Amino acid sequence: MVLQAWPAAASAQPCVPDASTGCVVGTIKTADGQPAAGVALSVDGAGGASAATTGDDGTWAVPVTVAGEYTVTIDPATLPEGEQLRDPTATSRTVKVLLNSQSRVLFALGAPTTGTPTEQPEPGATSAPPADKPGSDASSGAGGISGKRVAQQLANGLVFGLLLALASVGLSLIYGTTGLSSFAHGEQVTLGAILAYFFVQVVGMDLWLAAVLATLLGAASGWLQDAGIWRPLRRRRVGLTQQMIVTIGLSMVLQYLFQFLLGGGRLRIDTSNPKPVSLGPVTLTVQSLLSAGIAAVVLAGAAAFLLYTRTGRATRAVSDNPALAAASGIGVERVIRIVWTGAAGLAALGGVLVGLYFQSTAWNMGGTVLLLMFAAVTLGGLGTAWGALAGSLVIGVVAEMSSLVIPSDMKYAGALLILILVLLVRPQGILGRRDRIG
């Protein structure tokens, strides 16, 4: 069996994974970060052999119809003039490909290095991991610390911090108004991403409309949760510890429900190859820039709501002192219901944007970022929306910048270490007040 060969073009022929097709894809850039066009590659594996050539944007893609291991070989003779492989001996890479998934293979160009292994693709990866986003140093094989790499990681950290803040602000408001730490909040993030995937890939909706519907349905789920679970528990005067245990159980139920319905593989909301955009020394994808812009606008809207609307002022009053707010004529239960609804909507939107940013989503995506959300809320100051925003930005930047000196798999551990160090110096968090402690 011989697979289809893809010719060079302005943009590589796109490959859309589905139930019967898997995709082997990649992007090749020159040492200075420019697309490398006309590079020939061959793909050989369980489904047969194929050839591919990078387009003008440096991308290439090959569809396969049989799952298994495939070896991708690059032809160094077709590299642009003056370019060479960073590791001249690594002309082949082997990757495991699954159907309805995408596996990315990287070849780094630049001056040859010794003793520094080039990045290998993650076996069985269904999409590019975070470090493989266009503009990250994994895509160019950069090693060591340079000004360009620092700028790139800082930009990645700010984008990730903004997306993390969408979910963290809601989590902080829930704690501020009810005193409850919701361990099921991560599943609201997953719900938003899954709904967007369903609307785009199953129903065939436009991505923008799917994102709006996913956010609205996520907000509706928050309203239903408070009406069906949390308000009855509050009326029965169930303690916060017992309520927190309920959130843990709810989180487990939702996680395994998502896994049962969607399987354990990764899913892509948008299957098109992301387009890189260069901003000076920084390269980001169009999706990343749009996601960061949307997050910034929504967070600004949430800030305006809290500062300048009657309901927002009531929310802050309930967060500061629920008993005094009730004595002043504020409907505490109504405010809490609004907070649950808004927090779930923000988390769902965050899930959609995070799914686009990482180019994949999965049944346990919310669980993987839940610890970072709690870290951001605690670092910024429990119960304060501004603290959650500040904490999220710090966590995002530290997580990405730490990969300059430690393996990328440990970057979240570096962020949590910063959390511990800050709390040792300032237990109430960055913007928290001392009277909240103890």
For 343-398, how does the pLDDT look when each residue is reduced to its tens digit (9 = 90+)?
999 999 999 999 988 878 888 888 888 888 988 888 887 767 788 888 899 888 88
Identify the residue with better confidence: 348 or 130.
348
Q: For 229-250, how does the pLDDT look when each residue is reduced to its tens digit (9 = 90+)?
A: 999 999 999 999 999 999 999 9
What is the rounded radius of gyration, in angstroms, for the C-alpha atoms of the chain?
A: 23
432 confidence band (pLDDT: 50, 70, 90): low
435 confidence band (pLDDT: 50, 70, 90): low
- pLDDT of 176 over the 80 cut: yes
Q: Which residue has the tokens 């290439």?
A: 60
121 shares its domain with 161: no
Task: Taking residues 17-31, report their average pLDDT.
Answer: 83
Q: 45 — phi, psi (to 5°)?
A: -175, -150
- pLDDT of 264 over the 60 cut: yes
**Can you give the CATH number for the domain in which 381 is found?**
1.10.3470
**Can you give the CATH number for the domain in which 43 is found?**
2.60.40.10
Give the pLDDT of residue 148: 81
179 shares its domain with 109: no
How far is the first Cα of the chain from the last one, in angstroms, to the nearest whole number?
69
Q: What percent of the chain has pLDDT over 90?
A: 36
> CB atoms < 10 A from the CB of 293, how many?
12
- Domain assignment present for 93: yes
Give the pLDDT of residue 232: 95
Task: Taking residues 282-303, report their average pLDDT.
Answer: 91
Give the pLDDT of residue 434: 59
140 confidence band (pLDDT: 50, 70, 90): very low
- pLDDT of 303 over the 60 cut: yes
221 shares its domain with 366: yes
Task: Taking residues 198-218, report their average pLDDT.
Answer: 94
Residue 425 gets the label, from left (phi > 0), alpha (psi -120 to 50) or beta, of alpha
Q: What percent of the chain has pLDDT over 70?
A: 87
88 shares its domain with 156: no
- Domain assignment present for 7: no
- Domain assignment present for 131: no
> CB atoms < 10 A from the CB of 351, how many?
34
Residue 220 gets the label, from left (phi > 0), alpha (psi -120 to 50) or beta, of alpha
Task: Taking residues 172-187, report their average pLDDT.
Answer: 92
153 shares its domain with 98: no
Give the C-alpha distances (Å, rounded to integers) separating 1 from 15, 46, 94, 95: 19, 10, 19, 19
Average pLDDT, the chain: 82
- Whether the model pTM is above 0.75: no
Identify the residue with better confidence: 248 or 270.
248
- Total of domains in the chain: 2
Give the pLDDT of residue 12: 52
Q: Containing domain of residue 73, as a range?
A: 22-126
Q: What is the largest CA-CA distance in the chain?
A: 79
- The Cα 419–Cα 40 span in angstroms is 47
Provide the β-strand partners of residue 50: 43
Give the pLDDT of residue 127: 37
- The Cα 4–Cα 13 span in angstroms is 11
CB contact set of 425 (below 8 Å; sequence gap of 6+): none
168 confidence band (pLDDT: 50, 70, 90): very high
